[in-house]
A and B are shown apart, each in its own frame.
Chain A
Amino acid sequence: MSAQTVTETAPVIDVVGLRKSFGSNEVLKGIDLSVTAGEVISLIGPSGSGKSTILRCLNRLEDPTSGTVRVAGFDLTDPKVDINEVRRHVGMVFQHFNLFPNMSVIENVMLAPVETKKRSKDEARKQALGLLERVGLAEKADARPSQLSGGQKQRVAIARALAMEPGIMLFDEATSALDPEMVGEVLEVIRELAQTGITMVLVTHEMGFAREVCDRVVFMADGVVCEEGAPEQLFGNPQTPRLQEFLSKVL
C-alpha cells in the first residue's frame, strides 16, 4: 500500500472534469476537486445539487460518465483497477446507517477485516471492541442493530467503516436521519475523528459544525462547484449570489 506514502500536501483525492449523467439527466457537469492528506472538507449545497453523487463517485458506487477520479493513489476510471482494494482505503458512512440486521453489532464491525482476510477472528474482535469503545458503545457489542437508537446505530456504522483503517472517510449526511437530541453524540465522534489526521469529506447540512470542524468548505449548485474556501471566508463573506441565497435560507 505504497499508494498512500505520498508527501503531506499531495492530493489523496484528485477529481478532474468529473461528469455524471443518469440517462439524459446530467447531474455533475464538470467537477474539479482536490483534497490533500489530513484535510477535512465539507460539501454543502441545495438538495439535488449532486453532493451525494460526487461522494459516491469517490468509491465508485457510481461510475463516472467522464473525467478522472484519483483516490488514494488509484485511478478509479481505469477499468483494471481492483475496486475492492480501493474501497478498503475509503470508509463510507451513510445517511441511513445501513447496518447489517442479520449480524450483531460487533459482527458488523468485524465483517470486513475478517472477510478480506486482513485479520483473524480473535484479532478482529479485539480491534472491533476497541473501535466500539472509541464511539462509546463497547457495552452494546453483542446487541442487535434493531435494539439501538439512531445515534447509536450511526456510531456503530462509523466504527464499522473505521475497521478497515481507511485513510479517507466519506460521510453522506450522517446526522440527517437522526432525532435532534442524537445529533450531538454523532457529531462528537466525527469531531474527534477529524483531529486524528484522517482525510474526511463530509456532506452535511450542519453549517455550524462545518464551520467549526472543516479546513475548507465547498459549495455546490446545479452540478458544479460554485464557490469554495475556508469556512470563515465562505460563511462570513460569500461571493456568489447563489451561496448568499443558500446561506440566507439555511442559517
Chain B
Amino acid sequence: MNSLLDFFSFADPNIRFVVIGSVLLTASSAIVGTFTFLHKKSLVGDAIAHAVLPGICLGFMLSGTKNPAYLIAGAFVTGWISLIGVEYITRHTRIKEDTAIGLVLSVFFGIGILMLTVIQKSGNAAQSGLDHFLFGKAAALVGQDLFVFGTVAVLLLIAVFLLFKEFALLAFDKDYAKAIGLPVRGIELTLTSLIVLAVVIGIQAVGVVLMAAILITPAAAARFWTNKISVMITLASIFGAFSGLSGAYISYIAPAMPTGPWIVIVISTVAFISFFFAPKRGVINRLLRQRNIRRTINDENVLKTLYQLSEESRNFFIQRSAEEIIRRRKFSLETLGKILKRLERQGYVERTGKHWSLTEEGKNRGQRVVRIHRLWELYLTTHLNIAPDHVHDDADTIEHLLTPELEAELEKLLNYPKVDPHKSEIPYS
C-alpha cells in the first residue's frame, strides 16, 4: 500500500507531470468527444487521429527538430486535409461517407508510417522518440508539455462553454439550425477544429492508434447513464479523468506497463460496465424487462385460458386440472406449473389439491385480456379492412400490451360492441 501513498502524495514531480498531463488530456478529449459522438462523427475522429501522423513526420522533416510547435502545426494541417478529403469524396463521387473515411484513414496512415520509417532509417539522431506518436508517451511527460496541454484544455473548455447550445442544436437538428439562421458552417468548422486540436494533443499521451478510444469511449459510456447533455458531458469527463489517473497509477506501480494502453483499457472497462449495468439503457436491465414481459404474457395466457374454459357454463370459478388447461392451449406441463404457482402467489388463482381455480381478480384479468383481444380483432376488420381470418395473431400480442387508456379509447371508437368478427361475445365487467 506504500506505493499508493507515494503516488497520491504527488511528491515526485515526475508523477505530478504524468498525472496532471494524463487527466487534462483525457478529460478534455472526453468533453470534445461528447459532441463528436452526438454529431455521429465518431469515425471522423478516428480518421483525424490517423491522418495527423504524416503531419507530425512532415513537421519534423521540415524543421529538423522535435519541437512540439512544429509537430503540432504539421499535425493540424494534415488532420484538416484529411477532413476536406472525406468531404470532397462524399460530395463529388458516389462513395458513401463511411467508405470515404476508411479510404482517407488508411491512405494517410500508410503515408505516415512510410515517412516514419524513412526518418528512422535516415540516421538523424534527433528523431529518436518520434515513434512515441504511434502509441503515446504519457509516462515521459515533462513540465513543458503540461503547459501546452493546459492551455489547449482551457481553450477547448471555453469554446465548448460558449458554443454549448449551438453544438447541441446542430447535433439534434442541423436543418433547423440553418433555417433559423445560425452560421452552421462556421459552427461546424469550429467543432472540427476542436476535434483536431484534441486529437493532436491527445496522441502525445495515447498515440495515433488509440486516440479515437479516448475521444469517443467516455461519451459512449456516459450516454448509458443519462438523458441530459450537461450531465453526459460531466460524466464523460469524469470517466476520462478517472481513466487517465488509473493509467498513470498502473504504469507507476508496474513501470513496464505503458500508460496510454492502460488508459484505454480502463475507459473500455468503464464502457463495458455501463453497457451491461446502467439502469434503463443497460443491457441487463433490458433483458430483465424482456423477461418480465414474457412472464406477463405467459401469466395472462393462462388466465385467459381458464376464463375461456368457463365461458360456456358462465361459472368462472370451477376447479380445473393442468391437463384441462393444456388441452385448450399448448403449454409444457413444467412451464404451466411454474406459471400457476406464480399466479397463486399473486392471488390470481387458488389451488385445491391437483386442481386450480380463478379468484375474482384472476377472472377479471382474464376477462380483460379476452375483451381486448376481441376488440382489437374487430378494430382490424372494421377500420383497417383486414380479413377476419387474418387478425388473430396480431390480437394475441396486442391483448397484453394495451394500456387502460388505449383500451377505453378503443371501446369508445367501436361504440362498445357486443360481438367480435367471429361472433364471440365481447365481455365487459
A and B: bona fide binding partners: no
